[in-house]
Each structure stands twice: as structure tokens, then as C-alpha cells.
């Protein structure tokens, strides 16, 4: 996944997740890796007339009690750690993506 604002991937992933929930699907997990980890940064502060991508995600995670995992290796490389990670997101290992691939009926990747 690519970074929020830089590419549309974060917006598309958010809209898709919201639509899947609206249709009654269970979302096992949203896994953020590569530049996608930047979605979790609580310091994100876009212009007032633009959408706030991080807040959109946090609200979705909390309202629907979904597991949002931020890949630890990708996060460290990009300066994302516990001090800046927002509510609704948890740091986890890449193995949690493999677990998702083992368990999930469907897996959709939003890439640049």
C-alpha cells in the first residue's frame, strides 16, 4: 500500500472497507504495510477543507471493533512507533498478514 494523500490507495481501501461493513461482511483485519503504515500517524493534520484520512480510519476501527494492524518493520523504517500511533491502530508483525491470508475467505490489496 502507498501513503495517504500521496496516492489514492488509502482512500480506496477506506471506501471499500466501509462498503464491505455496510453489506454485513466481517472484516477480519486491515493490515497496513509499506507506506500504508503512515495512515496511523496521529500527528496527521491536513488542511481544514480536506478529508482527514487518519481520523476516518480511527472512527471506522472503533465503531466496528475491527483489528487494524500496522506492520512493525515497515513502521520503524518510516518513523512510526507507539509515540505517534493513533487510537484504533495496533503495531504487529508481518506474520499477522500471513495469518490473514490463511484465514480470510477474501483478501484485497490496495496498491499504487
Partner 1 sequence: MLHLVNKSPFESMSFEDCLKYAAKGSSILLYEDGIYGAMPGSAIADRMASVTSDYKVYVLKEDMMLRGVDKIMDGITEVDYAGFVGLVEENKTASW
Partner 2 sequence: MAKLMVVFRTAPYGGIYSFEGLENVLIMGAYDQDVSVLFIDDGVLAIKKGMDNSSTGIKDFSPTFRALEAYDIEKIYIDRASMEVRGVSLEDLVIEPEVIEADAVEKMMEEQKNFFIF
Is 71 in the active site? yes
| Adjacency order of strands within the sheet including 68-71 | 30-32, 68-71, 89-92
Catalytically annotated residue among 70, 71, 74, 86: 71
Whole-number minimum distance, CB 65 to partner 2, in Å? 23
Q: Would you tell me how many other CB atoms lie within 10 Å of the CB of residue 45?
A: 9
Query: Which of the choices partner 2, partner 1, a second copy, none does residue 69 contact, using the CB cut-off of 5 to 8 A by kind?
Result: none
**Per-residue interface string for the shown chain with partner 2, residues 38-77, x marking contact by CB under 8 A:** ---------x-xxx---------------------xx---
Q: CA-CA distance, 27 to 110, in Å (whole number)?
A: 15
CA dihedral 80, 84, 90, 93 (to 10 degrees): 20
CB 7 within 8 A of CB 112: yes
Interface ranges with partner 1 (CB under 8 A): 8-9, 12, 15-16, 18-20, 22-23, 25, 106-112
Interface ranges with a second copy (CB under 8 A): 2-6, 34-35, 38, 41-47, 50, 54, 73, 76-81, 83-84
Amino acid at each position: 500500500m502507498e501513503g495517504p494523500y500521496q496516492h489514492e490507495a488509502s482512500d480506496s481501501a477506506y471506501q471499500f472497507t466501509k462498503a464491505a461493513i455496510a453489506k454485513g461482511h466481517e472484516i477480519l483485519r486491515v493490515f497496513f504495510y509499506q507506506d500504508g503504515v503512515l495512515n496511523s500517524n496521529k500527528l496527521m493534520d491536513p488542511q481544514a477543507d480536506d478529508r482527514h484520512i487518519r481520523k476516518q480510519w480511527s472512527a471506522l476501527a472503533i465503531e466496528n471493533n475491527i483489528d487494524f494492524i500496522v506492520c512493525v518493520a515497515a513502521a520503524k523504517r518510516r518513523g512510526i512507533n507507539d509515540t505517534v500511533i493513533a487510537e484504533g491502530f495496533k503495531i504487529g508483525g508481518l506474520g499477522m498478514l500471513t495469518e490473514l491470508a490463511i484465514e480470510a475467505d477474501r483478501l484485497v490489496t490496495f496498491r499504487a
